[in-house]
A and B are shown apart, each in its own frame.
Chain A
Amino acid sequence: MATFDEFGGLSSLGRRRLLGAAAAVGMAASMPGAARAATAPAGLDTSNWTPEYIASIAGTMEIDTAAECAKVVPLNTKGRVTYWYVGPNQASPQIDHRIDAEFWAAFAKTYPNITVEKQNLDYNQMLNKVRTAALGNAAPMVAKFPILWGVEFAAKGQLMPLKPEDVGFGSDEFWPGALKSVMWNGKSYGIPTNNETMGLIWNAALFQAAGLDPEKPPATWDDLVLYSKAIKDKTGKNGYGLVARTNAGNTPFRFMPQLWAYGGGALDEAEARPGYKSVYLNNAGSKAALQASFDMYVRDRSVPVSALTNTQNENQDPFISGQLGMMISHPSEYAFMLDRASKATGDDKKTAEMVVANMRYGLVPKGPARRAIVFGGSNAHVFDAKVVDGKLDMEAARALLAFSTGPEWSTKIAWTNSNPGNLRGFRTKWMKERLETIKFLNVTTSMLPSGIPFPVIPESGEIMNIIVPDMLQNALTKKMSVAAAADDAARKVKALLTSL
């Protein structure tokens, strides 16, 4: 994809205005200084966050949500709150509908005098609807957004500053990666509701056919390159489901973990305290990661030729038909493959069932620098009073936030496809039940400490969906050398950041 880095956008004057607008938001003045409720500390050892550890802590903590909420907002509080979120739709499993209904019933029971006017929106329509509503001063009081949407509204000065302490929780009860995702210009503008990561999925039968240990995934990305080649050489099937299409979110979700693992990055988002000013795309780690992809695609030809036009969707058919050895995906992929196998017929059904039986989940490989995966999930935000439809009822909003981001409901609402944003949720009996009923959940959950959010800046979409895939395509098509493609991408990101 030809890019236009020279079309940077705003001048430095524009950026100052943008930041000024964000800084000028009512900030703390309008936020009640809620003292942190006396909740038990998370006390989780995330450095040892293994499937076994997760299993060992699940079900060890009793939670009284009403009692916790009462310490933040009295249960007899009267009020009204408007709330927009992406809830269950017609395609969602029945359990999602049931839990959603139970959530609203439980909230009404806990806060009987607070009226909630909720809107369950379609994921693909929500962002534009909220943008339009906020521009027209008709935004909801509270909204639950996918992890990176909030920064746009914070940058526009449309969100209230909001942190876990404002609703009775400690910041240590949430993943550091999740807290990074709600930061803008040094301030927090949201509370994590749920978080998830992906894992490495492989076909054990193909591993065996290639002479690899069928129960062990590649430990490092260098190993993954070798495994991919071995599968291709021994079986003729593609080894790893590389995805490199431009303008497709699947590409950065699978390539950035590799980049981070080698010590690279788009900016410094993998660092403990990212400033989002330094460009890492052409450092030695990024170039090594790009070289590894080049080796698989060009040198070894061990990944799909169609990787440049593929999204993850195009990996699913080859995988279920036994034509692909490894891919990075969500825990829900297992249920998806089961569904596909059940719908297949004849010989295809036999093949699909065999693949499902041989499906394994493991940690995404490490690199020389770290093990990494993209940190996903959602955050809850409160819109600024000046863009809210009607009068902002902060107490009602806080009550809803305290109730929904606590250990009980952040676990239940994330039942089928995510994890509690509140770390105490992992200790609950509901988490134990999830681990017992959802296959491979413990594996992908154990990737959470390795989760890194994309840079929390408005330019993130352009960097991740266009510049990074362009870099991959320029190298994989040999339009540029690996080093030149990395340098070109870094130059584009610098131009983008400095011209704004």
Chain B
Amino acid sequence: MSVSTAAREPNVFARIVRHRADYLYIAPALGVMLLVIGYPIYDTIYLSFFNTPPSLAMADKIFVGTDNYVRILTSEAFLDVTINTLIWTAFSTFFAFALGLGAALALDRQFVGRGLLRGILLIPYVISAVAAAYIWRWLYHSDFGVIGALAVASGITDRPINFLDNVDTSLPSLIVVNVWKEFSFAMIMMLAGLQTVPEQLHRAAQVDGAGVFQRFWHITMPHLKGVTLVTVLLLLVANLNSFTIPWIMTAGGPAGSSDIWITAIYQLAFERIRFGVASAYSVILFVVMMSMGYFYVRALTGKDEATPG
């Protein structure tokens, strides 16, 4: 048995030689990736063990071992920022996905104006994040914002609502903008997924007396499992890495109420010129994201093995 297997599967070197052309084809891309991804990752990890001076005299950096990691993980500020990050990521992902799924289910049905509505709902996704952040900043503006003015005009409040200059409302306000920006992406993904659900299964279930909810739960959702996993993971990664909206709209403020990991890292590196500690922070974020990727791949692989073919 082992002999016949060896005969069928040549050793690694032989396989590489056999696929040498393939390796040559991907070599340029691999080279570029090593340069623009591999090296920065290496350098970030390397820098995370040093303290760097604000004068940017990098030759004066001091080796501090794991001190940066210990300081980050034991600091009160890290706890605050982590809580903000978890709230930001969880709520943004959940609501963007839920809204996207709802919109996809609605748009999957045949009705007049469906194409137009699809186009309109895609606008938040295609609009530039920078432009969106500035537009929303003015919509929310605590003195002259349209939303506040409408609230006053309609008698809901007697003064403009303070969205962004209040420690209690700044993060939820940013999450609303983020969900608005992202739900279209979830909608596209889920719409694509819905195309894979066999229509005859729905008809058969309908004949058997299954209701709308039962058909959704027992037919639609199982078929959407794969695309749901992909969508949720991509949303999680996007939200963990989200920078443009929080930075432009509040820069982490007021008083740190909307500071999340990415804005904290940016500030440490480029505002406070603490490349060492910012690198350590980035490595922690990298590990968290890679862990998520690992569990995600495992989940996907498990699904593939369970449903061969």
A478 and B115 CA atoms in complex are apart in Å by: 49
Given known contacts A1-B252, A309-B164, A318-B143, A462 and B264 CB-to-CB distance under 8 angstroms: no
User: Which of A18, A318, A470 contacts B55 (CB under 8 A)?
Assistant: A18
Of A4, A11, A18, A245, which contacts B253 at CB under 8 A? A245
A69 to nearest B CB, angstroms? 34
Q: Is B100's CB within 8 Å of the partner chain A?
A: no
Task: Given A14-B62, A462-B272, A477-B166, answer yes or no on A309-B56 (Cβ-Cβ < 8 Å).
Answer: no
Interface residues of A, CB < 8 Å — how many?
A: 47
Contact B77 A2 (CB under 8 A): yes
Chain A residues closer than 8 Å to B259, beta-carbon distance: 1-2
Is the CB–CB distance between A156 and B57 below 8 Å? yes
Interface residue? B172 (CB, 8 A): no
**Cβ proximity bits B240-259 to A, threshold 8 Å, 1 near / 0 not:** 00000000011111111101
Q: Does A38 contact B (CB under 8 A)?
A: no
Chain B residue contacts of A461, Cβ below 8 A:
54, 271-273
Question: In the complex, how many angstroms separate the beta carbon of B222 from the nearest chain A beta carbon?
Answer: 43
Q: Which chain B residues (218-260) contact chain A, with CB distance < 8 Å?
A: 249-257, 259
Q: Which residue of A lies closest to B52 (CB)?
A: A9
> A458 on the interface (CB 8 Å rule)?
yes
- What chain A residues lie within 8 Å of B72 (beta carbons)? 4, 7
Query: Is B251's CB under 8 angstroms from A14's CB?
Result: no
Establish whether residues A309 and B254, one from each chain, have CB atoms under 8 Å apart when the complex forms: yes
Residues of A7-27 at the interface with B, using a CB-CB cut-off of 8 Å, are 7-11, 13-14, 17-18, 21
B199 proximal to A (CB < 8 A): no
The reply to whether A479 and B167 form a contact with Cβ atoms under 8 Å apart is yes
Most-contacted residue by chain B among A1, A246, A304 (CB, 10 A): A1
Is the CB–CB distance between A245 and B251 below 8 Å? yes
Q: Is the CB of B267 within 8 A of A155?
A: no
Q: Hey, which chain A residues are within 8 Å of B57, CB to CB?
A: 18, 21, 155-156
The answer to whether B62 and A308 touch across the interface, beta carbons within 8 angstroms, is no
Segment 304-321 of A: residues with Cβ below 8 Å from B: 304-309, 317-318
Asked if B108 CB lies within 8 Å of chain A CBs, one says no
If A4-B75, A309-B137 touch, whether A14 touches B271 (CB-CB below 8 Å) is no
Decide if B142 touches A13 in the complex (CB within 8 Å): no
Which residues of B lie under 8 Å from residue A465 when comparing CB positions?
Answer: 271
Which residue on chain A has the smallest CB distance to residue B275?
A: A9
Find out whether the CB atom of A10 lies under 8 angstroms from the CB atom of B144: no
Distance of A244 Cα from B250 Cα, bound (Å): 11
A233 within 8 A of B: no
Interchain CB contact under 8 A, B277 and A306: no
- The prevalent SS among residues of B at the interface is loop
A477 partner, pick from B56, B75, B255, beta carbons under 8 A: B255
Contact count band on B: 35 or more
Nearest A residue to B277 by beta-carbon distance? Answer: A7
A50 at the interface (CB under 8 A from B): no
Bound CA–CA A121/B250 (angstroms): 30
How many A-B pairs have beta carbons closer than 8 Å: the answer is 151
CB of B56 within 8 A of CB of A131, answer yes
Judging by beta carbons under 8 Å apart, are A10 and B256 in contact?
A: no
Q: Which residues of B contact A156 (CB under 8 A)?
A: 55-57
Q: Which of A1, A10, A21, A476 contacts B51 (CB 8 A)?
A: A10
Q: Closest Cβ of chain B: how far from A427's Cβ, in Å?
A: 38
- The contact string, 1 if C-beta is below 8 Å from chain A, for chain B 270-309, is 0111101100000000000000000000000000000000
**A10 with B71, Cβ < 8 A, contacts A2-B80, A247-B271, A462-B272 known:** no
Q: CA separation between A306 and B139, bound complex, in Å?
A: 12
Contact B254 A473 (CB under 8 A): yes
Let me know if A347 is at the binding interface, CB within 8 A. no
Check B268 against A318 for contact (C-beta < 8 Å).
no
Closest Cβ–Cβ distance, residue B150 to chain A (whole Å): 16
Contact A306 B68 (CB under 8 A): no
Asked whether, in the complex, the Cβ of B55 is within 8 Å of the Cβ of A308, the reply is: no
Residues of A within 8 A of B137 (CB): 309
> Which residues does chain B contribute within 8 Å of A442, judged by CB atoms?
none
* 0 or 1 for each of B77-119: is its CB under 8 Å from A? (1 = yes): 1101100000000000000000000000000000000000000
Nearest chain B CB to A457 CB, angstrom units: 9
Is A4 within 8 A of B77, CB to CB?
yes
Knowing A156-B55, A309-B165 are in contact, say whether A3-B254 is a contact too (CB < 8 A).
no
Chain B neighbourhood of A295, CB < 8 A: none
Interface string of A57-84 (1 = CB under 8 A from B): 0000000000000000000000000000
CB contact under 8 A between A476 and B60, given known A6-B75, A9-B54? no
Report A340 CB to chain B, min CB distance, Å.
16
Chain B residues whose C-beta falls within 8 Å of the C-beta of A11 in the assembled complex: 51, 62, 64
Residue in contact with A10 in the complex, picked from B62, B78, B164, B268, CB distance below 8 Å: B62
In the complex, A486→B58 CA distance in Å? Answer: 32
In the complex, the answer to whether A458 meets B165 with C-beta atoms within 8 Å is no
Residues of A437-489 at the interface with B, using a CB-CB cut-off of 8 Å, are 458-459, 461-462, 465-466, 470, 473-474, 476-477, 479
B256 nearest CB neighbor, chain A only: A2
A462 cross-chain contacts in B, Cβ below 8 A? 54, 271-273
Q: How close is A364's CB to chain B, nearest CB, in angstroms?
A: 24
User: Cβ of B253 and Cβ of A309 under 8 Å apart?
Assistant: yes
Residues of A contacting B78 with CB < 8 Å? 4
| Bound: A3/B255 CA distance, A | 9
Give 16 CB contacts A-B under 8 Å.
A2-B77, A4-B71, A4-B77, A9-B51, A18-B55, A245-B251, A246-B251, A309-B137, A318-B143, A461-B271, A462-B54, A473-B254, A473-B255, A476-B254, A477-B254, A479-B255
Given A1-B251, A1-B256, A4-B268, 9 further pairs, Cβ under 8 A: A1-B255, A2-B256, A3-B256, A4-B77, A4-B264, A14-B62, A155-B55, A306-B144, A473-B255
